[in-house]
Amino acid sequence: AQKITQTQPGMFVQEKEAVTLDCTYDTSDPSYGLFWYKQPSSGEMIFLIYQGSYDQQNATEGRYSLNFQKARKSANLVISASQLGDSAMYFCAMREPYNNAGNMLTFGGGTRLMVKP
């Protein structure tokens, strides 16, 4: 079974609108972390936001927020007020420190977001 599933291969959003990128995960680790990264065409993976499994509140970082629903095992990324520079690949990833005792990340297949002017 896939550990991280991103069901939207590609998405369009109008500039200045909000968009939600979906991510579901599967783990038996009691303590895990969820990450979102942005990868522009240059290739660099840019860290956006992190949510720990025991965090009580949803993580927010500027225009990025993570809609964390633990019971449903989903960690959707919400980008508010989209900008043209948001056009990129977006990856959801999970760290399972107990299962892997380290910093190994498992990535989803990614969602290509295209922002229309």
- For the bound state, the minimum distance from the C-beta of residue 117 to other proteins, rounded and expressed in Å, comes to 27
Q: How many residues interact with other proteins (rule CB under 8 A)?
A: 27
Stretch touching other proteins by CB under 8 A, among 14-22, 65-73, 74-82, 97-105: 97-105
Q: HEC states along 25-86? A: ECCCCCCCEEEEEEECCCCCCEEEEEEECCCCCCCEECCEEEEEECCCCEEEEEECCCCHHH
Nearer to other proteins, 2 or 14 (CB): 2
Nearer to other proteins, 64 or 107 (CB): 107
